[in-house]
Every structure is written in C-alpha cells, then in structure tokens.
Chains A and B, each alone.
Chain A
Amino acid sequence: DTEVTQTPKHLVMGMTNKKSLKCEQHMGHRAMYWYKQKAKKPPELMFVYSYEKLSINESVPSRFSPECPNSSLLNLHLHALQPEDSALYLCASSGAMETQYFGPGTRLLVL
C-alpha cells in the first residue's frame, strides 16, 4: 500500500484565521515532508521530519508551523497567512529506499 492521505482536500481561510492541515501514512515510513506547489511549477520543499524530529526547515515563515505527533501523522498549522500563500500543499513520505510518495494535497485559498 503506497497511500498517503491528506485532509482537508480544500480549505478557504481569511488572513486572521488559524487552521491545520493533516497528513497520514501507514507504510512505516520514517521520513515525512511538506511541500508547497504553485500552478504549473514543481513542488517546493518546506519541511522534512525524520524519525519524528524536524530535520530540515527551508527558511519557511513562522506563520507555517509543522508538527509530527507520531510516526504516522504530520500536521501543518497555519496562522496569519497571506494571499500569496494560496497554493497546493502536498505531504509526502519515504522509507529506506528514498522513494517519496505524495498525498493528494490540500488546495488552500487565502482571502
């Protein structure tokens, strides 16, 4: 099973709202990732968790706050976002063979 799931599928939020994106995988993968993707562009890495610890933060603004409650779950907490943060947010996971499997994404619109 190479399934990564994400909720919600779509999210509309105002600039003062607080919301969270959720990601789950049950493949026993020890690395999980958050990416941001704008239309017709490749995914841009935001954060990497390895064995539930944050190992890479690609200088992401603090209005994005990742959390890894356990080895299967990854959250992205959003607060005071800007309209330019509107994008597709993709979660991915990988095991020992390095192959990253992507979830379906959350399409975020910030008004």
Chain B
Amino acid sequence: GENVEQHPSTLSVQEGDSAVIKCTYSDSASNYFPWYKQELGKRPQLIIDIRSNVGEKKDQRIAVTLNKTAKHFSLHITETQPEDSAVYFCAGLGNDYKLSFGAGTTVTVRA
C-alpha cells in the first residue's frame, strides 16, 4: 500500500509570512493527493487536492505542487493569518483505493 511521510511535524510562522509543508509518497501508481486542515475539535476539512496529471494548483492563498518523478508534493500557504493555525494532513490515494495520511503538521501563526 501507499506510505506517506510529512515534514515538518511543527511549524511556527509570523503572520504574513509563508508556510510550506512537504510530503513524499512511495506508490508510483498513486494519482490523487488531497490536503486536509483540522482545527482543534473539528473534522478534517479538504482545503485543496491535486491529481497526477497536474503539476500545480492554486486556490487564493493556498497552492499545491506535485513532482511525480521525485514522488513528492508540497502545500504552500502565503500571507498567513491566525486562522491558518491548525493541523494539516497530506494524503495519497494508493491503487488499493485507501487514503494514506501523513503524520500531520501543527502550524502556529504568531500575531
């Protein structure tokens, strides 16, 4: 099955700065990579996703890049705001149709 590794485990940034979270995956057949944001006590919420036929996708302050050759993908958050503070999980969908999650990154945006 798929194995996803995520770094860093914690990230503290000054408000207005950018945040970058990186993930690697093992299954070259994986073709779908979502990112979830989970605030304390809430559900994981899909914030952006990317499929393997695309190298980059943007949605306002959030962007995801995918390098299929290197088997890694990254989340970029620009102009961070206090409400961006949360745990972020990357994931990859393996050819067994199971979603494998990274260990999570706790992002803290300092005002």
Q: Is the CB of A99 within 8 A of B98?
A: no
B102 contacts which of A42, A100, A101 (Cβ < 8 Å)? Answer: A42
Q: Mark A72-111, 1 if CB is under 8 A from B, else 0.
A: 0000000000000000001000000011111111000000
- By secondary structure, the A interface counts as loop
Contacts of B36 in A (CB 8 A): 102
Tell me whether A40 and B87 are in contact in the complex, defined as CB-CB below 8 angstroms, given that A56-B98, A98-B32, A100-B34 are known contacts: yes
Could you tell me the distance between the alpha carbons of A99 and B31 in the complex, rounded to whole angstroms? 12
Query: Quick check: is A28 within 8 A (CB to CB) of the other chain?
Result: no
Q: Is the CB of A102 within 8 A of B87?
A: no
How many chain A residues touch the partner (CB < 8 A)?
16
B104 contacts which of A40, A90, A99 (Cβ < 8 Å)? Answer: A40
Q: Mark B99-110, 1 if CB is under 8 A from A, else 0.
A: 101111010000
Query: Quick check: is B55 within 8 A (CB to CB) of the other chain?
Result: no
Most chain B CB within a 10 A radius of its CB, from A43, A45, A101:
A43
Query: Quick check: is B8 within 8 A (CB to CB) of the other chain?
Result: no
Tell me the minimal C-beta distance from B95 to chain A in angstroms.
12
Find the B residue at minimum CB distance from A44: B101
Find the B residue at minimum CB distance from A56: B98
Find the B residue at minimum CB distance from A31: B97
Q: Is the CB of B99 within 8 A of A100?
A: yes
Tell me the minimal C-beta distance from B48 to chain A in angstroms.
11
Could you tell me the distance between the alpha carbons of A105 and B44 in the complex, rounded to whole angstroms? 10
Query: Quick check: is A21 within 8 A (CB to CB) of the other chain?
Result: no
Contacts of B42 in A (CB 8 A): 104
Could you tell me the distance between the alpha carbons of A56 and B32 in the complex, rounded to whole angstroms? 19
- Residues in B lying within 8 Å of A, measured CB to CB: 32, 34, 36, 42-46, 49, 87, 89, 93, 97-99, 101-104, 106
